Structures are given as C-alpha cells and as structure tokens.
Chain A
Amino acid sequence: MAAGAKVDVVSRVLDQSESGIMTAVLRVPTVLRPALGGVATMQVEGATIGGVLSELSDAYPAVKGQLLNDDGTLHRFLNVYINDDDVRYLGGVNAPVANDDEITLLPAVAGGASG
C-alpha cells in the first residue's frame, strides 16, 4: 500500500508542470530517512505545510504521528522550516508553500535534568 502511495506522489509531481500545482524540495534529516524512503531530498507538493506533512504521513506510514498530531497541528518535537524561516512564525500548518521552496524537517533537540 505504501509503495502505491509513493507512486501516486511521484505521478502527481510529474504532472505539476501542466496542472500548476506548487512543488517544493523537502530536505530529510538522517534520523527520519529510514522512514522516508532513505533519501536526503525529495520533491513534495501542497498548498500549505500541513498539506505537505499530511501527504507525507499518508505516503509513509512510518512517520505518521511524528510530523502531525491527531488534531492536525504540528508535532511539538518537530521543527519545520520553509527556506530559512521556522513555520511556527509563518502560520504553523497553514504556512503557505510556494513553488521551489525548500522545506527542512529537523527533530527538536531537547531534554534536561527533569521534565
């Protein structure tokens, strides 16, 4: 099922030049690569960051729950950037994605003596 979903993503990426759908480049951190097909970068599409992450979660079930919460908000321990900007300051999951944007995912680095 996952493989079929990936093909679907690719086919839509190939169609984008005709349909005008925005595509962006996603940079995948090493820690998420095993769950996202082992690649360092991939093309993604979507009008908003929430849309992109939702589609990724559908295409790669292994990352489901690591990107978005059940209510569709951004996971607390995931940093998402569009180009150089943290999407939390761009509207969160509603942050708009433009053509050729570079989206970077980085798990938050946190801890401490006690929670």
Chain B
Amino acid sequence: MLVLNEQQRDAIVATCIRALPDEGCGILLGVNDGDRAIVRHVMASENVLHSAKVYEIDPKMLLRAYRRADDEVIDVLGVFHSHTHSEAYPSPTDVAQAPDPQWHYVLVSLRALPTQLRSFRIVDDAVDEEEVVVS
C-alpha cells in the first residue's frame, strides 16, 4: 500500500504535465511502516531521454535522492513516471527495466481526464497492483 497526501499526489501529476509532450518522472522518498509505504518527499527529475515513449531519471538527481534519504534516515521508496498516451500500467519496457523488487512503481496516465495514478510492485517480471491511499 502506498500512502501519500493530496499535495504529494498533485506534485507527481504536475511534474508529469509539465514534462509534456515527454514522459515525466521523479523519485519518491519515505518510510516503510509494515505493509504501508508512506511518502515523505516527491523529487521531480528531468527525463534525460526527452522522449514521449521512454524515460530515464537524471543520474545526478538520483544520487541526490539517495543522499537525501541517507541524511534523513528514510528510504528511496520508488519512482513515478507518466504514460502520455496509454494506460497507467507498467509496459514491457517498464517491467524489463524495473531494478528493485522493494520499490513502488507509480504510473500516471495523461491519456484522458481525470488523470489516473496507480502503483505497482514488480518482482521477477510479475506485476502486482497495490492500493494507493491519498490522505
């Protein structure tokens, strides 16, 4: 279960909208509390691939995110990115490149309004949707 507040959800969606026509992306920091992953920070990244079909987190931002997590003794919870013209579900590319079974993979679809935000775990190429709680 991924827990975030309205401001954090809006920050994720706004990052994705600002990146249009490209895919938008960023890193989520927070804490794990049992089966709940509670978001503390939404860190927007440049999509260094500048593409509407693929994304990559800016490596410099990625290092900053890990350093910030270390400094605050919290975790890098996962990543968010947008699909501009398809549903908010991990693509084969997303699954193939999902590096960490501990991570939460948040997908935002900008295909239609209202925008859709969903979260997934990806373990051994198996996609498992999880509940998103906006508090």
**CA gap between A86 and B62 in the complex, in Å:** 11
Query: Do B85 and A113 touch (CB < 8 A)?
Result: yes
Query: Do B63 and A79 touch (CB < 8 A)?
Result: yes
Q: Which residues of A are found within 8 Å of B85, using beta-carbon distances?
A: 113
Query: Do A106 and B54 touch (CB < 8 A)?
Result: no
**Contact-residue bracket for chain B:** 20 to 34
Q: How many A-B residue pairs have CB under 8 A?
A: 86
Number of interface residues of A (CB under 8 A): 20
**CA gap between A57 and B52 in the complex, in Å:** 35
Q: Of residues 72 to 105 in B, which have CB atoms within 8 Å of A's CB atoms?
A: 79, 81, 83-86, 90-94, 96-102
Residue of chain A at shortest CB distance from B57: A109
Question: Is residue A14 within 8 Å, beta carbon to beta carbon, of the partner chain?
Answer: no
Query: Do A114 and B100 touch (CB < 8 A)?
Result: no
Query: Do A81 and B63 touch (CB < 8 A)?
Result: yes
Question: Is residue A108 within 8 Å, beta carbon to beta carbon, of the partner chain?
Answer: yes
Query: Do B83 and A113 touch (CB < 8 A)?
Result: yes
Q: Which residues of A are found within 8 Å of B36, using beta-carbon distances?
A: none
Residue of chain B at shortest CB distance from A27: B66
Query: Do B93 and A107 touch (CB < 8 A)?
Result: no
Q: Which residues of A are found within 8 Å of B102, using beta-carbon distances?
A: 30-31
With A115-B53, A115-B54 already in contact, the answer to whether A110 and B97 are too (CB < 8 A) is yes
Q: Which residues of B are found within 8 Å of A107, using beta-carbon distances?
A: 99-100
Query: Do A111 and B81 touch (CB < 8 A)?
Result: yes
Q: Of residues 68 to 115 in A, which have CB atoms within 8 Å of B's CB atoms?
A: 77, 79, 81, 84, 86, 88, 104, 106-115
Chain B 43-81 interface mask (CB, 8 Å, partner A; 1/0): 000000101111111011011001000000000000101
Q: Of residues 97 to 117 in B, which have CB atoms within 8 Å of A's CB atoms?
A: 97-102
Chain B residues packing against A (C-beta within 8 Å):
23, 25, 27, 49, 51-57, 59-60, 62-63, 66, 79, 81, 83-86, 90-94, 96-102
Nearest 6 CB-CB pairings of A with B: A112-B54, A111-B94, A110-B56, A109-B57, A107-B99, A79-B59
5 contacts between A and B (CB under 8 A): A106-B62, A108-B59, A109-B99, A111-B98, A114-B92
